[in-house]
Structure 1
């Protein structure tokens, strides 16, 4: 069983900059079969946008997605984790803060992303969450 975040994290998370239009973000999520993108300037984390953010902060507020940028809807008060942190620390942070995703940052630079799906696959590959995380997307 993996002991450190580096062993289970996604090593090439999808990133966008703050000026990216939301339709482009949604297309990336669809193409990559992901539910979030990290907002980054070069390799410095600036925020996170989830599929839920698109629904709650844009569609539900009747904002025009084509005229709305990532900067306007991204969560910016993020909790991150170091790649050498133990898996138990990641689980603790996610539980205490009700997080589904953690950007992985080393010396201020984005190096990966960790999701509850990654943890489920690592911790209990036979769990329902692991099955869902590993399944092909239903299109």
Structure 2
């Protein structure tokens, strides 16, 4: 049985909700990622921000990314998956919520992220096609 732990990208890092977006962008650049999980002071997931969020919800609106925090951009209930979850549960979570990145949690700690690229490396062409159709087709 393939689990979330088996397909995740290890080494994901939190960013505190109080961190500014310019610092978030610098960390994304250094880690070569397009998203960061956002944590509260108790290191609990409170959201995810993406490079696109920084551009469309801050810069494009004329806000200063040195003054806007990661927590300011977090919206809704953050989604995550347990490291021991089956790949079917991973796909269901991502399809149901139409998300492209999923934090992986083990014993209340962030241990990795699952992205579309991770899925592509571990699923059959048919599974990838079904995932893409369910996530993208409905978003038109």
* Aligned twin of 2:23: 24
* Aligned twin of 1:61: 61
SS at match of 2:61: coil
8 A Cα contact 1:21 1:68, kept in partner? yes
* Aligned twin of 1:14: 13
**Structural mapping, 1:43-62, within 5 Å:** 43-62=43-62
CA distance in 2: counterparts of 1:105 and 1:91, whole angstroms: 16
CA distance in 2: counterparts of 1:12 and 1:42, whole angstroms: 19
Query: Unaligned regions of 5+ residues in structure 1, if any?
Result: 128-139
Query: Unaligned regions of 5+ residues in structure 2, if any?
Result: 129-140
User: 1:1-53 deviations in whole A, cap 9, x for unaligned?
Assistant: x7111111122202210111111111111121101011124542122111111
SS at match of 1:64: coil
Matched, 1:123 2:107: no
CA distance in 2: counterparts of 1:37 and 1:105, whole angstroms: 14
**Structural mapping, 1:53-132, within 5 Å:** 53-124=53-124
TM-score by structure 1 length? 0.80
CA distance in 1: counterparts of 2:50 and 2:75, whole angstroms: 9
CA distance in 2: counterparts of 1:7 and 1:34, whole angstroms: 19
TM-score by structure 2 length? 0.79
The count of residues paired between Structure 1 and Structure 2 equals 125
After TM superposition, give the deviation of residue 57 of structure 1 in Å.
1.0
CA distance in 2: counterparts of 1:48 and 1:12, whole angstroms: 16
